[in-house]
Amino acid sequence: MIHKLFLFSLLLLTLSAPASLYAKDQTCTEDIIEIPIYPGERIEDFCRRAEKKISIPCSLLRQKLHSLLKQLPLHGYHPAKDILEGILVPGRYQFCPQKDKTLDLDQISQALTQQIDRRYRWVQQQLQSADHFVKNLTFFQILIFASIIEKEAAGGKQHDRVAEVLLPGVKYKRRLGVCSTVEYGLGYHRPFLLNVDIRKKTAYNSYLLPGLPPTPIAFASDEAIRSIFSPAKSGSRFFVFDWTTGKLHFSRIHREHQKKARRAIQNYGAQFGKGSMYQIFPNSFYEPQGPNRKSQWYQDLIKSRETNLPHFFSK
């Protein structure tokens, strides 16, 4: 393992120029260009934001990242499939532009790759002391699992309790039955999924298929990944998210879970109207839409994401 990490570090030295991370560089004479990546987002969300900021087609950025990732020993990652979903690390990426106030494609892709390296090495360290099952997960499987935890902890809290509930399903390859993966496969958000939704066959339908889906469904925070190694020990087996309060409600028995689920549905109908309960919101998944986006808890979540997003400066 030490030999592999040593070779990995040498490889990164050849791939990336020296970068100053976590702090603003005082030698930057141009206005800093910032491109944030938020937990719970998809690669296409990042692409749209990056294209507006730097005027570089996302197809070129994806190709560059793909070529760099093929050279990195990310155990369990399959670059031949050109999978970029969930691989990038959330953060506020800040760049010192060139004299013509533009960014170089290599500059961006190398900064992103450097943070993937940081995360990979941290995960490898955690795996050394993890329990037997988690220790056998690949880096890519960790990202898949963490991305589900990130989306299911829709209020931005209690990742460890979500991990506790889902871990047995991942371990014994059961059907996880989570709405976030279903919506990712469908390509739309519905506040409360119908039977017609969960019966549709996609590779991401965790109501029909056991175990983890084939790829991550979003970018995961460090908190989501950390929860896999340190899940809660509350004894909870079920949870439901209340879209009106932004809170998760956990239960130990199914009857209690059903009661809380009915209450969450009633709360939504009372606050936003029954008409929007089953409305389809295209190109979105498991995130407040319509009138729900104005909820105070969601506005607080957005502010919290902005405040807590780590800064990565690269020149």
Q: What are the pLDDT digits (tens) for 121-157?
A: 999 999 999 998 999 999 989 999 999 999 999 999 9
Of 69, 94, 126, which one is at a domain's C-terminal end?
A: 126
Residues 272 and 250 in one domain: yes
- Given phi > 0 = left and psi -120 to 50 = alpha, else beta, which region is 21? beta
Instruction: Provide the pLDDT for residue 104.
Output: 81
CA atoms within 13 A on the CB side of 59: 0
Residues 116 and 135 in one domain: no
Residues 163 and 299 in one domain: yes
Residues 176 and 53 in one domain: no
Domain membership flag for residue 105: yes
CA atoms within 13 A on the CB side of 51: 11
Domain membership flag for residue 315: no
Residues 208 and 114 in one domain: no
* Amino acid identity, position 83: I
Counted domains in the chain: 2
Residue 165's domain comprises 130-305
Domain membership flag for residue 7: no
Task: Report which DSSP code applies to 238.
Answer: E
Domain membership flag for residue 42: yes
Residues 97 and 178 in one domain: no
Of 100, 126, 152, which one is at a domain's C-terminal end?
A: 126
What mean pLDDT comes out for the span 210-222?
Answer: 95
Is the pLDDT reported for residue 7 higher than 60? no
Tokens found for residue 189: 């958000």
Domain membership flag for residue 10: no
Tell me the C-alpha distance between 124 and 129, whole Å.
9
Is the pLDDT reported for residue 112 higher than 60? yes
Domain membership flag for residue 12: no
Instruction: Provide the pLDDT for residue 304.
Output: 93
Residues 174 and 105 in one domain: no
Q: What is the mean pLDDT of the chain?
A: 86
Residue 248, strand partner residues: 241
Residue 108, burial from CB neighbour count under 10 angstroms (0-12, 13-18, 19+): buried
Instruction: Provide the pLDDT for residue 77.
Output: 60
Residues 113 and 203 in one domain: no
Residues 137 and 118 in one domain: no
Antiparallel, parallel or unpaired: β 311-314 and 91-95: parallel
Residues 42 and 152 in one domain: no
Domain membership flag for residue 201: yes
Residues 159 and 292 in one domain: yes
Residues 64 and 160 in one domain: no
End-to-end CA distance of the chain: 31
